[in-house]
Structure 1
Amino acid sequence: MAIGELVKSADFKSEKHVPVIELPEKIEAGKDFVVNVSVGKEIAHPNTTEHYIGWIALYFKPESGNVYNLGRAEFTAHGESTKGANQGPAYTEPSAIFKVKLNEPGKIIAVSYCNIHGLWESEVEIKF
């Protein structure tokens, strides 16, 4: 089984695991822009010691060429503590900002990992 067969996708308005990609309305070739990726925008995802989003990765697939890894954000605090589960002093919410510059049109793809429900992806087409 290929890893692609394990990655799930859905509409983020009906599924809490799907990464939500937010971009500026206008993107220009060769100019920096901000990509905000989060999980749980419409339906909150739990952030507990037992059930959490561990990371979000961002990729770019130009119309001509291979996939490029733009970055990855790790979320490592989920309320764990020596006092017990969900009693810790810190939690990391699954949201990340990436500053990106693209010279070609293509697709931005976000992948998130839930420790219980696996890999989820979404994508947005980039046109200039």
Structure 2
Amino acid sequence: MPKKFGDLIYTPETASGEAISKVETHTPRIEAPDSVKAGEPFYVKIYVGPHPNTLQHSIRWIEVYFEEEGRPFNPVMLSRIHLEPELVEPEVTLKLVLKKSGVIYALEYCNLHGVWEGRKQVKVQ
């Protein structure tokens, strides 16, 4: 039986074998406040690296999702950013406005080392 796609996504907790050596350079980092006021804009920075940025080895995209507390169907896709090797570094800043607490998820795709996940919980007051 084929694996579920979610089983193919690497996280710091599930990385094993050779993937363990890639955790620091492939897990998306999310810089955001731990808590925000409902309806008040704030910035979230997502970045990966240090990581090569060549045609042969690079981060090709970053996706950002939000799992909102109490929402019947999650997650909400916030953004998908295509990254052109050699021209764009794997870093993006988004301005978010949340009404409810939840978890921000960032996925990134490395053309050699697969899809990696990072996450950060944000409380809304």
Deviation track 1:15-39 (CA, whole Å, cap 9, x = no partner) reads: 2001000013541111111110000
Name which one, 1 or 2, has greater alpha-carbon Rg: 1
Pick the aligned partner of 1:5 from 2, 7, 14: 7
The 2-side partners of 1:38 and 1:3 are apart by: 23
CA offset at residue 59 of structure 1? 0.3
Gap regions ≥5 residues in structure 1: 79-90
Gap regions ≥5 residues in structure 2: 14-22
Identity of counterpart residues, as a percentage? Answer: 39
The 2-side partners of 1:35 and 1:121 are apart by: 16
Pick the aligned partner of 1:50 from 46, 49, 56: 56
Q: Indicate yes or no: 2:116 matched with 1:123.
A: no
CA offset at residue 123 of structure 1? 0.6
- RMSD value, Cα: 1.7
Equivalent residues of 2:34, 2:123 under 8 A apart? no
**TM-score (structure 1 length as normaliser):** 0.81
- Poorly superposed stretches of 4+, deviation over 3 Å: none
Structure with bigger helix share is 2
CA offset at residue 8 of structure 1? 0.5
Q: Give the corresponding residue for 1:63.
A: 69
Provide the secondary structure at the position in 2 that maps to 1:51.
coil
CA offset at residue 57 of structure 1? 0.6
Deviation track 1:83-103 (CA, whole Å, cap 9, x = no partner) reads: xxxxxxxx2110001111110
Counterpart residue identity of residue 11, structure 2: S
Provide the secondary structure at the position in 1 that maps to 2:6.
helix
**TM-score (structure 2 length as normaliser):** 0.83
Counterpart residue identity of residue 104, structure 2: I
